[in-house]
Structure 1
Amino acid sequence: MTGDIGAAAPSLIRASLSRTGKWAGSVAFVSGAVSDVLNPLGPFAAYIALVASVAAAIIAIAIVLRLVLATKAMPALIFATSAAAIAGGVYTVQQETNSQNGIIATLVPAVAELQQSLGIVSEKVARIERTVTETQKTVEEVKKSTDTVAQKTQEIAAAEKQQTEQGAETQKAVEAVKQTTDTLAAGQQQAAAQAEKLQATTEQIAASIDTIAKGFAALAAQGGAIADPKRPDEYYHNARVYELSGDMLNARRSYLAFANFDVDAIDPYTRFATLLRVQDGKAGAREVFGQLADKAKASAIKLVHLEQFDDAQRLDKLNTFIAAHPDYAPAYF
């Protein structure tokens, strides 16, 4: 059965084209031209092409299934096919050329004037203008809202920044006051500790000097040099006896023997330095006391050694000595 239809199809098509081809093609062309002119209002060429294609497919299926007589349905199939082909071609050319007002209006100015006179283009333009206006208003409102939000955000950020800066400055001030208070308290504690150490050192030196002085007084009461001295006060007694009698050589030996005991008493070394300056000059006294200071632990020997330098050097060395021995009282006199 299907073979019979297939064999008869060419003759049916030729017969239908001879009868309906001209008017079907003309109607389809007119439909394509109308849809092109109406393109500003919508893609009517696409609509016609879609409807005609669906209709052609339905008619063809009905003919194949013998739901309708081929002789009666063939003109409709030719018309639907022609309409789909022409409308589809018009829509394709519109898309390729981007002709919003239609191909004919682009090529023929009279058709464009006809579109305007009929209000086709003007309606679309007016609709576009309304859309643009509404969009512009919406954009302006959104911009105003955005600007307001941005301004509020900046104000809040500025306030927060100011509060943060004030808090940081307050914290710094509190820390500075606390640090100053801690420094003052530490300074007071250190000063009190140094005063206690200085007092203890002064008392210790005074006790040592008092002990030696008592020994000196006892020896002085005996008179004359001790033949076999063994204690530091005995050597100092002999040094003073020899010095007063003019025996500077034995006085010097007795002072050196006294220094070997490393007694931390300032007066004996001061007298010894005076003797050395008289005999050897300041350079000689500085040399002798330099040797004693290298091996001695007594601060008195080191201090008397510094006093043998010239004024400029002596001041610098004394400042260094005081910085190293802040609790040694004789250094401040």
Structure 2
Amino acid sequence: MRERYRREHLEQLNALPTSDKIDYAVRTPALPWALQTPSDPNGSATRIRRKRGRLLVVQHVSFAGPGPLRAHLEAAGLVLDVIDVSAAAALPSTLEHYDALVVLGGPQSVLDRQGWPTRTQEATLVAEALRDEVPYLGVCLGAQLLGVEARGVAYRGPAAEVGWTPVATTAQCAFDPVFRVVPRRLHVMSSHVDHVSLPAGATRLMSSSAYPNQAFRVGRIAWGTQFHPEADAAFAATRRRLVPGWAEDEVPANGDERFFERHAGAIFAAVFSRFAAVVDAAATRRRELSPALLNRP
């Protein structure tokens, strides 16, 4: 079983277009028409000078940072403002000065009515991203916040998903501008027990046996993942120490942790680069429609 699994996933990875592999620059995805650069109706060569896009990244605990996500977004020329709210750092009141929003995971529970000190601010920013179609990526807690703000329902799952979890893509995933590079089956890094129902009109992209909404898209450019695509070896080592039962559940009997880590890393490197392309396209269009933004800080 182990060799069959390894062979199947290597075949899936090798089937990716060359430009979608980790060792190469990822091509710009086929974006929704609303995000494509407006054409000049007069056919002139005049172009407005572009600036790099800026992302706000909300971090909830010191050991769960953006990890490899940061490297891939910065490699695409984007600027990240990472704010760790566990260090009492203040969040901006709006996304006025940002071209995208990323909300990471954390030990907080979306089911906690009292929330955590920045929950109301974070919910306001997520709602703003949805309203104004600002590109959004939510991880674990960030995905649950996305689901709730899009009128999904948060709930406690049947059992904790800890360590490497098998997931499968849906038919719709093959048409998603960001997650289309994910193979049919994959093991992903998990650490959660809360979940959220699929909001009305959202698109389910990935599922597991216990948690049906492992990845989903709301509207055109807001994504949530229940698992941790940004997890690296340091994340896994820390969670192994902190989460009861992690060591027992971390690696399936037919699996090789290093193989899972390399394979998932290659796949999500392509996903992150495609998300960066969405952010870049949205930022470009926003500036072309609002030239005053060219001079913003």
TMscore range, shorter length: under 0.3
TM-score computed with the length of structure 2 as normaliser: 0.24
Q: Which structure has more RCO (C-alpha within 8 Å, separation ≥ 6)?
A: 2
More strand by share: 2
Decide which structure has the larger Cα Rg and report it. 1
